[in-house]
Amino acid sequence: EVQLVESGGGLVQPGGSLRLSCAASGFTFTSLWMHWVRQAPGEGLVWISQINIDGSRTNYADSVKGRFTISRDNAKNTLYLQMNSLRAEDTAVYYCTNSFDRWGQGTLVTVSS
């Protein structure tokens, strides 16, 4: 069974940092691109970042470019999102997804003073 389990969310002050993790199992992690998608409270889905199978190529939404960094550890079947310089508008549930097939349960990031 495919499982994606996010962790690392929480309350952080504006300007702070968080690192999200997504532990993957039940599929061949090394064969799929991975993505992060977020959903602000009461809002729709927004793609924010993608990484290819070996981590050599990444893409970011303009809203997070230069502040967020996606990475993966194929030995640990884990996807990461390093989030720096956080803003109130980054408050959202963050989902990881394996090429938009399956999605994790999400982890809530709240940026507030």
Partner 1 sequence: DVVLTQSPLTLPVTLGQPASISCRSSQSLVYSDGDTYLYWYQQRPGQSPRRLIYKVSNRDSGVPDRFSGSGSGTDFTLKISRVEAEDVGVYYCMQGTHWPPWTFGQGTKVEIK
Residue 103 contacts partner 1 per CB under 8 A: yes
- Which lies closer to partner 1 via its Cβ, residue 16 or residue 106? 106
Among candidate residues 88, 75, 82, the one with its CA nearest the CA of residue 15? 88
Closest CA to 38 of 2, 3, 70: 70
Query: What element of type H or E holds 78?
Result: strand 78-83
- Euclidean distance between CA atoms 46 and 26, whole angstroms: 25
Q: Compute the least distance from the CB of residue 50 to partner 1, in Å.
A: 7
Q: With respect to partner 1, which residue has the nearer C-beta, 17 or 101? A: 101
The interface with partner 1 within residues 62-101 (CB under 8 A) comprises 95, 100-101
Residues 6+ apart with CB under 8 A from 29: 72, 74, 77, 98
> Nearest distance from residue 56's CB to partner 1, in Å?
16
Annotate each residue in 2-31 with x if it binds partner 1 (CB under 8 A) or - if it does not, as one string. ------------------------------
Footprint of partner 1 (CB under 8 A): 35, 44-47, 50, 59-61, 95, 100-106
